[in-house]
C-alpha cells in the first residue's frame, strides 16, 4: 500500500476510499495509521482531478479512483487535552457514534455543513473538490475557544464556568468550516474590513446551516451565533446576534457585546486584528435585514446572493464593505433582475446599516471562480 507522498506517481497506487476505510478499521496498528492518514490528508484526489482536467480528459466518472461527488470524508481526532495537532483518530467516515459527545457532535456538525453546501449550492466540500473534512476535539485544557487552522477545525472543551464545550453549537461548526470556503474562494485578509467580511461570511453561512437543519424561515430563525455556548450563570444568550448586534451578552466578566449594527459605530481599533469579530456586526446585520425583507428560507435567495458574491472574481483579499455591498447588488441583479424585489431588499439592507452603495449598478455580468 502506498503511503501518502507528493510524488505524482503515487496517484497510480492509490487505493479507493472504501478499501482504505476497511484497513483503517481492520488493519494492524501501522496499517491503520497509514490508511487513516491517507484518507484524512490525501490531496492526490484533488491533484488527480486537476491533472485530468488540464490534460483535457473527459470528466472523471465516479469511479474507483476518485471520491464521488457529494461524498463526505470525515475524520475526527482527539487531542486529549494537549495542544499537539492533529491528535489521535477516534472516528472515521461511516463509523458508528463513539461514547464521546464532542466527537459525535463534531462528526454530525461536519456532516450538516457538508450537506448544506452540497444540497443548497452544489458545492462539493469546502474546496468544491471533495476535500476531506477533519476536526480535532478536546484541544488543550479548559480551552475556551474553537478555531480553523487552515486545514482543520479545532475545538476546546470550554472551562464550564464561562463556556460550554464548543462542539455544542452547529452554527459555530459551520462558521469554522466556512472560513475554509472563504479561504478557497476569496482569501479575504483576516484584518480590518476584509477580515470583518471574512468573519461575517462565516456567521452568515453558519447561521444558514442551523436554519436549514431546523427548517426555519428568516422570520423564525433566532439569528444568534453560538447560542448555548455561554455557560449557565453568564448573563448572555450567544456570542453574537445578527438581528441585534451588541445585545448578545452583558456580563460582569465577559463585558458587554461590542458589536455595532451601523457604520457610524464602526470600531477603529488595533484589537482583534482590527476588530474583525466586532465590525462583522455590520455586514451581519445587512444580511439579516435582506433575508427578512425577502422572506422565506434565507438560504434560497439572500444566501444565494451572498454565496455568488463570495465566488465573484471581483472579491479580492483587500475587498471592504462598500465593494462587497456593491457586488451583492450586482449579483442580486444578475440572479433576480435589476430592479427586482430581491435586489431592492439588498440595497435597503446596506442603506440601513450605513454602507454607501451606488444608485445604479451595471447590468454587466460578474464572473465567478
Partner 1 sequence: MRVEFKIEGGLAYFPGLSKPRVIDSADLPAAEADRLHRLVDAAGIFEQPAGGRALPKGAADYRQYTITVEDGRRRRTIRLADPIANPDLEALVEYLRTRTAPGDEPASKDE
Cβ density class 223-250: b for 16+ within 10 Å, e for less? bbbbbebbeeebebbbbbbbbbbbbbbe
The binder of partner 1 chosen from 239, 302, 315, 353 (CB under 8 A): 239
In the window 12-31, what residues touch partner 1 (CB under 8 A)? Answer: none
Q: Nearest CA to 124 among 45, 38, 190?
A: 45
51 touching partner 1, by CB under 8 A: no
Q: CA-to-CA distance for 314 and 126, rounded, in angstroms? A: 20
Cβ at position 235, least distance to partner 1 in Å: 11
Q: Which of 175, 277, 285, 342 is catalytic?
A: 277
176 is known as an active-site residue: yes
Which of 160/358 has CB closer to partner 1?
A: 160
| Cell numbers at 25, concatenated | 478499521
Residues 90 and 76: beta-carbon distance below 8 Å: yes
Residue 207 found at the interface with partner 1 (CB under 8 A): no
Residue 179 known to be catalytic: no
Strand partners, 77: 89, 136
Neighbours of 47 (CB within 10 A): 15
Contact assessment for residue 301 and residue 336, using Cβ atoms and an 8 Å cutoff: yes
Closer CB to partner 1, residue 17 or residue 180? 180
Q: Is 247 in the site for partner 1 (CB under 8 A)?
A: no
**Site membership for partner 1, residue 339 (CB under 8 A):** no
The reply on whether position 83 binds partner 1 by CB under 8 A is: yes
Neighbours of 22 (CB within 10 A): 12
Of 49-57, 108-116, 135-143, 319-327, the segment contacting partner 1 by CB under 8 A is 135-143
Q: Which stretch binds partner 1 (CB under 8 A): 50-58, 255-263, 289-297, 350-358?
A: 255-263
Helices (H), 72-169: 101-121
Other CB atoms within a 10 A radius of the CB of residue 328 amount to 29
Residue 256 binding partner 1, by CB under 8 A:
yes
* Site for partner 1 contains 253 (CB under 8 A): yes
DSSP 3-state of 355: coil
Check residue 245 for interaction with partner 1 (CB under 8 A).
Answer: no
Given the rule CB under 8 A, which residues bind partner 1?
82-85, 139-142, 144-150, 154, 166, 172, 175-176, 179-180, 183, 187, 190, 198-199, 202, 226, 239-240, 251-256, 258, 271-273, 275, 277-278
For the annotated catalytic residues, the residue numbers are: 176, 277
Amino acid at each position: 500500500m502506498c503511503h501518502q507522498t507528493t510524488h505524482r506517481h503515487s496517484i497510480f497506487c492509490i487505493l479507493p476510499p472504501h478499501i482504505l476505510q476497511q484497513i483503517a478499521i481492520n488493519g494492524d496498528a501501522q496499517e491503520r495509521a497509514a490508511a487513516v492518514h491517507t484518507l484524512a490528508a490525501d490531496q492526490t484526489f484533488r491533484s488527480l482531478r486537476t491533472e485530468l482536467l488540464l490534460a483535457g480528459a473527459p470528466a472523471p466518472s465516479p469511479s474507483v479512483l476518485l471520491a464521488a461527488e457529494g461524498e463526505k470524508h470525515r475524520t475526527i481526532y482527539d487531542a486529549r487535552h494537549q495542544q499537539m495537532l492533529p491528535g489521535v483518530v477516534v472516528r472515521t467516515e461511516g463509523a458508528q457514534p463513539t461514547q464521546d459527545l464532542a466527537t459525535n457532535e463534531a462528526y454530525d456538525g461536519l456532516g450538516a455543513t457538508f450537506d448544506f453546501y452540497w444540497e443548497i449550492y452544489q458545492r462539493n466540500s469546502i474546496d468544491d473538490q471533495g476535500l476531506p473534512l477533519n476536526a480535532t476535539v478536546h484541544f488543550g485544557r479548559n480551552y475556551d475557544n474553537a478555531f480553523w487552522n487552515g486545514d482543520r477545525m479545532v475545538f476546546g472543551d470550554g472551562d464550564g464556568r464561562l463556556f460550554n464545550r464548543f462542539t455544542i453549537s452547529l452554527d459555530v461548526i459551520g462558521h469554522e468550516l466556512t472560513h475554509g470556503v472563504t479561504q478557497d474562494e476569496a482569501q479575504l485578509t483576516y484584518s480590518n474590513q476584509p477580515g470583518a467580511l471574512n468573519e461575517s461570511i462565516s456567521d452568515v453561512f453558519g447561521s444558514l446551516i442551523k436554519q436549514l437543519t431546523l427548517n426555519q424561515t428568516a422570520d423564525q430563525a433566532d439569528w444568534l451565533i453560538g447560542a448555548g455556548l455561554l455557560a449557565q450563570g453568564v448573563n448572555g444568550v450567544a456570542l453574537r446576534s445578527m438581528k441585534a448586534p451588541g445585545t448578545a451578552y452583558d456580563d460582569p466578566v465577559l463585558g458587554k457585546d461590542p458589536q455595532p449594527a451601523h457604520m457610524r459605530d464602526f470600531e477603529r481599533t488595533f484589537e482583534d486584528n482590527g476588530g474583525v469579530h466586532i465590525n462583522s456586526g455590520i455586514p451581519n446585520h445587512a444580511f439579516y435585514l435582506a433575508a427578512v425583507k425577502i422572506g422565506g428560507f434565507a438560504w434560497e435567495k439572500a444566501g444565494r446572493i451572498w454565496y455568488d458574491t463570495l465566488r465573484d472574481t471581483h472579491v479580492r483579499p483587500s475587498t471592504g464593505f462598500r465593494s462587497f455591498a456593491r457586488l451583492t447588488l450586482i449579483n442580486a441583479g444578475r440572479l433576480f433582475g435589476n430592479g427586482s424585489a430581491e435586489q431592492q431588499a439588498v440595497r435597503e439592507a446596506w442603506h440601513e446599516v450605513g454602507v454607501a452603495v451606488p444608485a445604479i449598478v451595471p447590468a454587466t455580468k460578474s464572473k465567478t471562480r
